[in-house]
Amino acid sequence: MSASSSPTLRRPSRALRDVVFVDGVRTPFGKAGPKGLYAETRADDLIVRVIRELLRRHPELPPERVDEVAIAATTQIGDQGLTIGRTAALLAGLPKSVPGFAIDRMCAGAMTAVTTVGSGIAFGAYDVAIAGGVEHMGHHPMGEGVDPNPRFLSERIVDPSALVMGQTAENLHD
Helix ranges, the chain (H): 43-57, 84-91, 109-122, 151-154, 165-173
Position 142 in a domain:
no
Position 46 in a domain:
yes
130 and 71 assigned to the same domain? yes
- Tell me the C-alpha distance between 92 and 44, whole Å: 10
82 and 152 assigned to the same domain? no
61 and 133 assigned to the same domain? yes
Position 1 in a domain:
no
45 and 128 assigned to the same domain? yes
Q: What is the pLDDT of residue 12?
A: 59
42 and 77 assigned to the same domain? yes
Q: Look at the chain and report how many structural domains it folds into.
A: 2
The boundaries of the domain holding residue 157 are 148-174
153 and 98 assigned to the same domain? no
44 and 89 assigned to the same domain? yes
The rounded average pLDDT for each run of 10 residues, N- to C-terminus, in the chain (174 residues) is 53 81 91 89 96 98 97 93 96 98 92 97 97 92 85 90 70 62
116 and 41 assigned to the same domain? yes
Q: What is the pLDDT of residue 106?
A: 86
Q: What is the pLDDT of residue 39?
A: 92
In a 3-state reduction of DSSP, which class is residue 43?
A: helix
Q: What is the pLDDT of residue 3?
A: 46
Q: What is the pLDDT of residue 10?
A: 63
Q: What is the pLDDT of residue 31?
A: 85
Q: What is the pLDDT of residue 2?
A: 40
173 and 116 assigned to the same domain? no
129 and 170 assigned to the same domain? no
Position 8 in a domain:
no
84 and 166 assigned to the same domain? no
- Tell me the C-alpha distance between 74 and 104, whole Å: 5
Position 31 in a domain:
no
For helices 43-57 and 84-91, the axis angle rounded to 10 degrees is: 60
pTM score > 0.85 for this model? no
CATH number at residue 106: 3.40.47.10
